[in-house]
Amino acid sequence: MNRIMGTAVGLFILGAAILFLPAQGVAGPIIKGEAVGTHVFCGGPASIGGALGRTQPIRAHGTCLETLNINDNRVNITVIGDGGGNGLTGQSACSDGRNTKIIGDDPSAAQIVQVRGKNITISGVEITGISAADLPARLALPAGVWDPSACGGDSDASNPDCNANRGIRATRGGFMTLGRNVVRGDFGGPPNAAVFIEQTGICVHHVGGNGMEVAQGSFARIANSEVHTVSGDGVVVGDGSVISLGVLSGGELNQPTDPFPSTGRSGPNIIHDNVGNGVTIDRHSIGRVTGNFIHDNAGEGIRVRRHSHADVTSNLINGNGGNGVRVDDTSNVSLGATGSSFCAATKFGAFCVGNSLANLPNTTSTGLENGGFGVRCTINSSVSGRLTRDRENTTVQPLTGVSGSKTFGSFGFVTSDNCVDKTN
């Protein structure tokens, strides 16, 4: 009898041990030296938020119906979804059917994912708001939180009546990286910064507010990602914050000072079809906007205003309703400085392989001009760099709009705005 009881107890202990072993999953490759981490399979009681304190990285799978808060007491958190991003195969982050989905479960929340912690990395996920199709989840909210009747019929989640969510927001000093480039190579051989075994980003779409936001003294690096069909701006940087949009490290720009120069394979972001501006840099903020495709937004392609600065280089800026780049209120924009016969006018980001992206000017595809000017400057601001010639060093394809390549006064007229024009 004692032997039977001992065997039973042993089997129980073994079963319990197996239960707590890391589950096998498919989220991203296991990099040499990287912990297996914690697998989270959404769709039941499990959630990403509930796993933040467990072994990193968090490898998330399935569809997660939650509002995720990564608070200021969290550091070194990595969330890796199943998506492959827009890197190695050239596909956009939102077209990857493998993406782990995060759907906001509270339409009244300010954002679906909030980051206040430090060194927070998220990749391979798709973030979207709640829509008419998710009415059961909406009806489960406490009375008075939201009016589900305002989001009926075929309303999608970009309708502000369906949710008031931003997609993802870093605030109050949060430090986040969206997307990651993992270099092939290890201590057993020289790393090759031009070859990645993983190049993943995130997708944000159909939310009632801005897609991505960096605010209140926060910092973000965003690459390989996509934002579309949101009812605000695609990406917003404000209140003394800093963003690097399109690259994750200087080595990807192939600068002479970089210790590991590469072929310039930075991961471009694709920001398109949003109700507001593509990118807004506002209120004493700084942005490095390099190697992105910014198109068909209803507002400006890129707007820099209220004592802010941006380096705007090697972007393809097409068909936005306003100007390609607009600079206001004592702000400054530095454009690309040199052309290159190796980078076609319609290329951007990783597709300008072999060139220094930080020096390439921006461009617009023929027939897809922006609704205003290529560059518009007002109110004591300045713009410098190459504007009137494209990357191929010709006069064929400048950054432009239907009204022309540039204006340094209100509405195209000479005014007392005192803008400084250092473009060529």
- How many angstroms separate the CA atoms of 197 and 31, rounded? 9
Give the per-residue pLDDT at 229.
Answer: 97
Give the per-residue pLDDT at 360.
Answer: 81
Q: Do 150 and 221 touch, CB atoms closer than 8 A?
A: no
Torsion of CA 369, 370, 371, 372, to 10 degrees: -110
Is pLDDT above 70 for 355? no
Is pLDDT above 90 for 142? no
Instruction: Give pLDDT tens digits for 312-331.
Output: 988 999 999 999 999 999 99
Instruction: Give pLDDT tens digits for 81-140.
Output: 998 754 545 568 998 889 999 999 889 899 999 999 999 999 999 999 988 887 666 666
Instruction: Give pLDDT tens digits for 2-35.
Output: 554 454 444 444 444 333 333 444 556 566 667 7
Instruction: Give pLDDT tens digits for 159-208.
Output: 998 899 999 999 999 999 999 877 655 444 565 555 666 778 999 999 99
Element containing residue 288 per DSSP (H, E): strand 286-290
For 263, which DSSP code? S
Going 80 to 85 to 28 to 251, the CA torsion angle's sign is negative
Give the per-residue pLDDT at 150.
Answer: 80
Q: Give Cα 139 to chain centroid, integer Å.
A: 31
Give the per-residue pLDDT at 291.
Answer: 87
> What is the residue whose two structure tokens read 């690259």?
247
Percent of the chain with pLDDT over 70: 74
Instruction: Give pLDDT tens digits for 286-307.
Output: 999 988 999 999 999 999 999 9
Give the per-residue pLDDT at 187.
Answer: 44
Cβ contacts of 16 within 8 Å, gap of 6 or more: none
Give the per-residue pLDDT at 274.
Answer: 98
Q: What angle do CA 356, 405, 238 make, to 5 degrees?
A: 65
Mean per-residue pLDDT over the chain, rounded: 82
Percent of the chain with pLDDT over 90: 52
The CA-atom distances, in angstroms, between 256 and each of 195, 206, 265 are: 19, 41, 15
Give the per-residue pLDDT at 88.
Answer: 47
Cβ contacts of 86 within 8 Å, gap of 6 or more: 92, 93, 96, 199, 201, 224, 225, 226, 267, 268, 270
Q: Do 153 and 109 touch, CB atoms closer than 8 A?
A: no
Pick the closest to residue 57 from 126, 119, 127, 128 (CA basis).
119
- How many angstroms separate the CA atoms of 50 and 340, rounded? 50
Pairing of strands 180-184, 192-200: antiparallel
Give the per-residue pLDDT at 344.
Answer: 78
More confident residue, 410 or 1: 410
The CA-atom distances, in angstroms, between 182 and each of 81, 164, 175, 192 are: 15, 34, 19, 10
| Assigned token pair, 308 | 């802010």
Q: Do 125 and 102 touch, CB atoms closer than 8 A?
A: yes
Helix runs in 52-200, H state only: 135-139
Give the per-residue pLDDT at 398.
Answer: 77
Confidence band for 37, pLDDT divided at 50, 70 and 90:
very high
More confident residue, 346 or 124: 124
Cβ contacts of 104 within 8 Å, gap of 6 or more: 66, 67, 112, 127, 128, 129, 130, 163, 165, 207
Q: Do 166 and 207 touch, CB atoms closer than 8 A?
A: yes
Give the per-residue pLDDT at 16.
Answer: 41
Pick the closest to residue 106 from 58, 140, 156 (CA basis).
140
Which long-range CB contacts under 8 A does 18-21 form with residues at least 24 apart? none
Going 162 to 163 to 164 to 168, the CA torsion angle's sign is negative
Give the per-residue pLDDT at 21.
Answer: 38
Q: Do 297 and 271 touch, CB atoms closer than 8 A?
A: yes
Q: What angle do CA 201, 133, 114 make, to 5 degrees?
A: 40
Give the per-residue pLDDT at 13.
Answer: 43
Burial 213-249 (b: 16+ CB within 10 A, else e): bbbbbbbbbbbbbbbbbbbbbbbbbbbebbbbbbbbb
Give the per-residue pLDDT at 199.
Answer: 78
Give the per-residue pLDDT at 371.
Answer: 97
Q: Do 185 and 191 touch, CB atoms closer than 8 A?
A: yes
